[in-house]
Structure 1
């Protein structure tokens, strides 16, 4: 009898303990069911441990909060009402109840007992907005904040350039997708709009032309002739560059070129002295004529002028000629396209003429030749070497006057040039080796009857400074 009683007691214990455990687990399960389970989210908001009412209220607060928007750092705000955003709490509650019901019952209780982690679930949230209103918001933002690229602007007061500015354009489609996601999110309520950037336009020769023209506008009745060439890109700027001007001492550049075409380096001391005095500060017309007579003209100065003219024409410089040596007169002049114009005239010397364009191209030929190529070597095979053309450059670089083009560039910049002037015409023509790039600059100025040195020298220096700043705008 005792043995039977002991068995009954043990059976009761065995049944009671699991029953008590399951009862305790069920009570705990029912208690846990009053709040939302782990790994549950709604519109990006983690609602684990919240009651359903608390979660739905948190969503309502979130959807009523404006979306913080930025356009390239500019803070903006998008009000939910402005896009007719509507949050349907009842529909959202129905979706939540449906998911909770699927997790309840025996399977849910067993999962709780076994401490099986629930699968992540994102409860659908009933929220909508007006696509049309959102498109209108983006259109207003684009209209207010988008800007087209702005080109560089000349600054006459400083002879410099204000850099160009990039353009900005709202990427409407990409930004719309970001805003739509933020409007329907309870947590990610900040949006950086997608903005495309268009690079700022580069500084171009036309802008330099605007700056130079602004300088020239202050000098009434002056007829300027300007030629600029970028020796890296080949870009050119011309202001009256094909007008005929008096050749002046600037034409001694062509005498230099012809001397090296005819003679081989090294030159004998006498020729060297003639070149030094012809191209240096003294700018001797007498010794220039010796080169015309004894080197280019085979003993005849007029033939030297004729040969020089023929060579210039052969090089394509058809507006450049000499019919007589310096300080001499010729029997006639030469008709060229430049001096045939009837719309403008500088009353050029009838015996020697050129244009800023012709002289600029001749300087470019010397520069190219010093690097082993170019028109001089093509037109006269074997007549020039790179070393001879480099010597021509050095001759021009020794002409130091600390005025005109030299006065407009930095002290360390190499300026190989030849200047010249008469009462009504002043000029300077240069190859300039600057840190930002090598360039040709030729400036002729003409004023009827008389041109003051104070006016021309400062204007040419300003033109040189503006041109130098163009090539060195990033230095």
Structure 2
């Protein structure tokens, strides 16, 4: 799938990997704008400042591959006219049985995003998981808790969040874009739900080759979110 703004989670992880604690105030402010308000310019500036002046997207991709996410990549910056730095072939976009016409600049899968969120969650909870095993000296439990905080401040009241009871702690990143034909074809929403019956990761991606109608996709995503929440929180 086209990752759209969900690719900002890998950017966040990659930047934290390079930062020393405490997090510089300038980086924290850019992170807030990128995650909480889904701004693109701060995402570019974070990569240019803390990863590489020109090759930041490829560093993000390298980090994702380092932790085992082989279908997730960022091949260019967000700004209009940004060059495609590399063309990536992945197991997911090599499939011939199904196509979602993914963007050549940024791609991921629900499985990859789910695993990445689980990595952040486990690291935030106890310093464990993939980050604890592979990046113990580069991403701390405190930094993972900060990542979760940023994600919980992304409040949009639609998609997955719309299907959760009021007051549910929910950290997520959503993404959708208008394509060159002026229509929307894909929506992505991925997150961590903290519920009385158990915490869980949920990732929903939708694609339509002609046009994805937001109201219909929003309702379906919210209903899926409600169903999963109820599964973990069965009441008599």
Query: Is 1:457 aligned to 2:213, yes or no?
Result: no
Aligned to 1:247: 3
Q: CA deviation at 1:287?
A: 0.7
Unaligned runs of 5+ in 2: 178-183
Query: Is 1:320 aligned to 2:72, yes or no?
Result: yes
1:348 to 102, 122, 128: 102
Q: CA deviation at 1:332?
A: 4.3
Q: CA deviation at 1:331?
A: 5.0
Query: Is 1:398 aligned to 2:157, yes or no?
Result: no
Q: How does 1:362-377 map to 2 (within 5 A)?
A: 362-370=116-124, 371-377=126-132
1:336 to 90, 95, 99: 90
Q: Is the 8 A contact 1:329 1:351 kept in 2?
A: no
Identify the structure with bigger relative contact order (alpha carbons < 8 Å, sequence gap 6+).
2
Residue 346 of structure 1 aligns to a residue whose secondary structure is coil
Q: State the alpha-carbon separation in 2 of the partners of residues 278 and 331 from structure 1.
A: 22
Query: Is 1:256 aligned to 2:12, yes or no?
Result: yes
Q: How does 1:264-303 map to 2 (within 5 A)?
A: 264-280=20-36, 282-297=37-52, 299-300=53-54, 303=55
Q: How does 1:215-226 map to 2 (within 5 A)?
A: none
Q: State the alpha-carbon separation in 2 of the partners of residues 304 and 252 from structure 1.
A: 12
* CA 1:339–1:268: 2 relative to 1, 3 Å: same
Residue 419 of structure 1 aligns to a residue whose secondary structure is strand
Q: Is the 8 A contact 2:58 2:85 kept in 1?
A: no
* Deviation sequence 1:196-240 (CA, Å, 0-9, x none): xxxxxxxxxxxxxxxxxxxxxxxxxxxxxxxxxxxxxxxxxxxxx
* Deviation sequence 1:427-455 (CA, Å, 0-9, x none): 10001101110000010100113211111
Unaligned runs of 5+ in 1: 1-244
Q: CA deviation at 1:310?
A: 0.8
* Deviation sequence 1:134-192 (CA, Å, 0-9, x none): xxxxxxxxxxxxxxxxxxxxxxxxxxxxxxxxxxxxxxxxxxxxxxxxxxxxxxxxxxx
* Deviation sequence 1:306-339 (CA, Å, 0-9, x none): 1111111111100001110114240542000000
Question: Which structure dedicates a bigger proportion of its chain to strand?
Answer: 1
Q: How many positions carry a matched residue from both structures?
A: 227
Q: Is the 8 A contact 1:377 1:383 kept in 2?
A: no
Residue 246 of structure 1 aligns to a residue whose secondary structure is coil
Q: How does 1:59-458 map to 2 (within 5 A)?
A: 245-280=1-36, 282-297=37-52, 299-300=53-54, 303-327=55-79, 328-330=82-84, 332-370=86-124, 371-422=126-177, 423-458=184-219
Cα RMSD for the two superposed structures: 1.2
Q: State the alpha-carbon separation in 2 of the partners of residues 376 and 382 from structure 1.
A: 9
Q: CA deviation at 1:265?
A: 2.8
TM-score, normalisation: structure 1: 0.47
Q: Is the 8 A contact 2:33 2:39 kept in 1?
A: yes
Q: CA deviation at 1:276?
A: 0.9
Residue 193 of structure 2 aligns to a residue whose secondary structure is strand
Q: State the alpha-carbon separation in 2 of the partners of residues 417 and 269 from structure 1.
A: 22
Aligned to 1:96: none
Q: State the alpha-carbon separation in 2 of the partners of residues 432 and 331 from structure 1.
A: 35
TM-score, normalisation: structure 2: 0.93
- Deviating above 2 A after TM superposition, structure 1's stretches of 4 or more consecutive aligned residues are none
Residue 415 of structure 1 aligns to a residue whose secondary structure is strand
* Deviation sequence 1:15-71 (CA, Å, 0-9, x none): xxxxxxxxxxxxxxxxxxxxxxxxxxxxxxxxxxxxxxxxxxxxxxxxxxxxxxxxx
